[in-house]
Amino acid sequence: MKELSVTCRMNVNGRWSDGCIHDVSDRGLLVSSAMPPAIGTYVDIRRGALVIIGRVVWSGGSRFGVRTQDPVSVAALLNESPPNRGPAKPDRRSHIREDFSRHTVQQADRSRRHSSALQFICLTLIGMGMAGFAAILCYRALTTPFGAVAALLGGPVT
């Protein structure tokens, strides 16, 4: 591992923050940040035009280890200019993500309403069927005794 202290910018789940690379190995970095990402999170680390993609494999305090997808060149890292500390440029694709998220939420709400309506219709039909079945059973149960009473009283038997 090569020990150094190189400032960088990090993108974690669409949020940019400052970081500092302390150690570099063939496929790994030791990075520190005010808010280190959780283990398993993918990070996009940038210094100038150099882009390093990796996954957090351990975390402790403000430092964390990143396993990179490609080998990291210390020379390329040191030759790049430090990150611009000016105002962050807005992500051009953020409106597309927001539209997709909004569409997904609307689709889930629509699906929930449709399933609730279908559930109501099914339960209503089942309830009506059970009520009809209970009415037929009551009719059959009461027809025989009332028929016998009507016969004893001399009325018409149905």
DSSP H or E segment with residue 148: helix 94-153
DSSP H or E segment with residue 32: strand 28-33
> Mean pLDDT for each consecutive 10-residue tract of the chain (158 residues)?
78 90 88 92 89 92 91 81 57 63 83 94 97 95 88 73
User: How much is the pLDDT for 158?
Assistant: 57
130-134 contacts at long range (C-beta below 8 A, 24 or more positions apart): none
Task: Report the 10 Å Cβ neighbour count for 54.
Answer: 21
Can you give the pTM of this predicted structure? 0.50
53, exposed or middle or buried, with CB in 10 Å at 0-12, 13-18, 19+? middle
Structure tokens given for 91: 């992500």
Cα distance between residue 129 and residue 126, in whole Å = 5
Task: Report the 10 Å Cβ neighbour count for 76.
Answer: 13
